[in-house]
Structure 1
Amino acid sequence: MANITLGGNPIETTGSLPAVGSKTPDFKLTATDLSTKSMSDYKGNRLVLNIFPSIDTGTCAQSVRTFNEKASELADTKVLCISKDLPFALARFCGAEGLDNVESLSDFKTGDFGKDYGLTFKTGPLETLLSRCIVVVDKDGTILHTEQVSEIKDEPNYEAALKSLS
């Protein structure tokens, strides 16, 4: 379980992120076209999983914008922006912002992604939403880097995530 804060107030998650060097857990997430996506859909690509509570907050929206900008420079890499937002909200945001270098996916149907990755909020006002995390995965599905952002209002360390791909 990760101990993080929201405005300095402690919040717990359901577990801990998968370990660097381990294989990434499979997932079934809903794309903005309502199709189901899993790890096998990204075989042969490096992945940056940008995970956050809701696209409707400033920090979450900024992380999607920043990774969209950085993703255009990354070869064989997909940036997956993952939350429990409805696919319609994710599509609306990316469409309005003109963001086409990231892919938005939702864990709204089952919440299994958050449970399997150990990052669902267990306590606090955002209980059941996904905490702010980064998971970077190589082409073989091995985890290269993780970050559980300790203060949920803070942005992730973009440079550390991207550096793990070099």
Structure 2
Amino acid sequence: MATTMLKGNTVNLAGNEVNVGDKAPEVTVVNSEGLADVKVGGAQGVKQLIIVVPSLDTAVCATETRNFNKRASELEGVKTTVVSMDLPFASGRFCSAEGIDNLTVASDFRNKDFANAYGVLIADGALAGVTCRAIFAIDENGVVTYKEIVPEITAEPDYDSALNAVK
């Protein structure tokens, strides 16, 4: 079972661990705009950057999403999606207030299919039931080319490595 840390305490992750070189599972999540289904993963004919955060309602997740929104505008032909367990209504309000318009913000609240398929569901501790902080880059053929499970949930990811993985 994979793990991460929350304020220095080990947190177990549930679900199927996905690694570099694996086929990225195709999963349906819910867009924060209009509650439309959004497919992430799988072979989509374009590169994908999937940014996983626990909740946009926290300072680190909000900062991370703002940073990726700004930097995603530099990426050509890359489908960039932020996935959390936040309700689509809450993430929609966040996007409107913060001007998030260069990426898709989606929710895995219905069945936790994404969190389980990618092995990023926090299984225990204070944040049990939400996603950890992680990033997956997927090539046009649906193969995972980059993975980061951020070692400390309260820390920001390695932005440069993630973005370089899809350039």
Tell me, yes or no, whether TM beats 0.5: yes
Counterpart of 2:156 in structure 1 is 155
Paired residue type of 2:24:
T
Q: Any gaps of 5 or more consecutive residues in structure 2?
A: none
**8 Å CA contact retained: 1:2, 1:15:** no
Determine the structure 2 residue equivalent to 1:102: 103
The answer as to whether partners of 2:23 and 2:42 remain within 8 angstroms in 1 is no
- 1:25 matched to 2:25? The reply is yes
Contact 2:24 2:41 (C-alpha < 8 Å) held by counterparts = no
Q: Deviation per CA, 1:132-151: give whole Å up to 9, x if none.
A: 00000111111110000110
What is the CA distance between 1:16 and its match in structure 2? 5.9
Letter of the 1:100 counterpart: D
Count of matched residue pairs: 166
Comparing 39-48 and 70-79, the one that deviates more? 39-48
1:10 corresponds to: 10
Alignment-derived partner of residue 86 in structure 2: 85
Cα distance in 2, alignment partners of residues 65 and 16 from structure 1: 29
Instruction: Please give the alpha-carbon distance, in whole angstroms, between the structure 1 residues aligned to 2:16 and 2:109.
Output: 20
| More strand, by proportion | 2
Please tell me whether the aligned partners of residues 49 and 138 of structure 2 are also in contact (alpha carbons under 8 angstroms).
yes
1:117 paired to 2:112: no
Shift of the alpha carbon at 1:42?
A: 8.0
User: What does residue 132 of structure 1 align with?
Assistant: 133
Q: Percent identity?
A: 37
Partner Cα distance (1:40, 1:72) in 2: 20
Change in CA separation of 1:62 and 1:40 when aligned onto 2, cut-off 3 Å:
closer
Instruction: Give the Cα separation in 1 of the matches to 2:141 and 2:108.
Output: 23
Pairing 1:57-68 to 2, within 5 Å after superposition: 57-68=58-69
Cα displacement string for residues 57-90 of structure 1 (whole angstroms, at most 9, x for unaligned residues): 0111111001101100101012100000000111
Q: RMSD across aligned C-alpha pairs, in angstroms?
A: 1.6
Cα distance in structure 2, aligned partners of 1:31 and 1:42 = 19
Q: Distance in 1 between matches of 2:96 and 2:40?
A: 24
**Gap regions ≥5 residues in structure 1:** none
Whole-Å separation in 1 of the counterparts to 2:120 and 2:111? 14
How far 1:15 moved relative to its partner? 4.3
TM-score (norm 2): 0.94
User: Structure 2 vs 1, CA of residues 92 and 42 (structure 1 numbering), >3 Å: closer, same or farther?
Assistant: farther
Report the TM-score when normalising by structure 1: 0.95
